[in-house]
Amino acid sequence: LHLFSFLDKNSRKSLAKTCHKLQEVFQDPLLWSLLNFHSPVELKKDNFLLGPALKYLSICWYSERVKVCNIEDWMKNSLQKDFCNRHEHTVNDFLLEVCNRCPNLLSLTLSGCGHVTDDCILLLLKNCPNLKTLKLENCVRITDRTLEAVTLYGGSLQTLHVDFCRNITQTGLERVREKRPLVMLRAERSANMIPDTKPEKKLMLEKASRKLVQL
C-alpha cells in the first residue's frame, strides 16, 4: 500500500496487472482515500475504485473547452451543443455514484464543471453528512438552491467556496452567513457577475422598459 501510494492512477492499474497479489493491493479500499481528476474523461477510466474510504475528491478541469460548457445553453451553436452532449452528464453521474458509495467524504472540490447541478450537490450534502469542505469554482449551473441546501444539510460544513459561480446572488450568500455563521464562506466575483437570463425573460424586461419609456 505504501509503494502504491506514490503512483498515479494509471501506474497503479498497470502495476496491478503484473500479479494477483498486487491486484489485491489495487483493490484495497485504503488505497483510495484521495482521488484527483483533471477532466471529465478521466472519470470514465477503469483505473480507480470508489468506496467508503474516500475522504478527499477533486475534479478540476482547466481547459479552453471549459469556456464552451460555460456558455448559456440557449446561446450555444450546434457544434458547441454537440461537444457538451458528449460529457454533459458525466460529472453528475459520477457524483451520484459518490453519493451511493462514499458516505465518509470530507472534502469535495469542483472547478470548471459547468454541467454540475444544484440537485446533484443537494444529494451529496444529504448523503455525505461528514462533508467539511465544499469548493465550487466556475460551476455556472450552481445557484442559490445550492446555498439553501447548505443551510439545510451542511451541518458539518466548515468551508464553502462558490467562486466565479455567476448565478449565485448576494441574497443567497447573506442567507448562508445568517444560517451558518461558523462556515468560512468565500464567493469571489460570484454575486457581482452577470447571471444567466433566458430569452423569454429578456423579452419581458425589454417590454417592461418600453412601457416605462412610453409613460
Residue 194: the pLDDT is 85
Whether the CB-CB separation of 182 and 155 falls below 8 Å is answered with: no
Q: What does the mean pLDDT of the chain come to?
A: 91
In this prediction, what percent of the chain has a pLDDT beyond 70? 92
Whether the CB-CB separation of 92 and 40 falls below 8 Å is answered with: no
Tally of CB atoms within 10 A around 145: 16
Residue 207: the pLDDT is 55
Residue 206: the pLDDT is 55
Look at residues 142, 87, 100 and name the one whose alpha carbon lies nearest to residue 119: 142
Residue 106: the pLDDT is 98
Q: What is the pTM of this model?
A: 0.88
Residue 69: the pLDDT is 87
Residue 214: the pLDDT is 56
Mean pLDDT of 24-37: 96
Tally of CB atoms within 10 A around 33: 16
Q: Decide which of 76 and 97 is more confident.
A: 97
Residue 92's contacts (CB-CB under 8 Å, 6 or more residues apart) are 115, 116, 117, 120
| C-alpha cell, 67 | 469556456
DSSP 143: B
Q: Is 54 helix (H, G, I), strand (E, B) or coil?
A: coil
Residue 153: the pLDDT is 97
DSSP 196: P
Mean pLDDT of 39-48: 94
Q: Does the domain formed by 32-213 have CATH 3.40.50.720?
A: no
| C-alpha cell, 15 | 502495476
Mean pLDDT of 101-127: 97
Q: Decide which of 31 and 204 is more confident.
A: 31
Mean pLDDT of 210-214: 55
Residue 38 has pLDDT above 80, yes or no: yes
Residue 65: the pLDDT is 79
Residue 100 has pLDDT above 80, yes or no: yes
Residue 45: the pLDDT is 94
Whether the CB-CB separation of 10 and 36 falls below 8 Å is answered with: no
- How does residue 200 score in pLDDT terms, banded at 50, 70 and 90? low
Q: Domain map of the chain by residue range?
A: 1-29, 32-213
Q: Give the dihedral sign, CA 130/110/102/11.
A: negative
- How does residue 204 score in pLDDT terms, banded at 50, 70 and 90? low
Element (H, E) at 212: helix 199-214
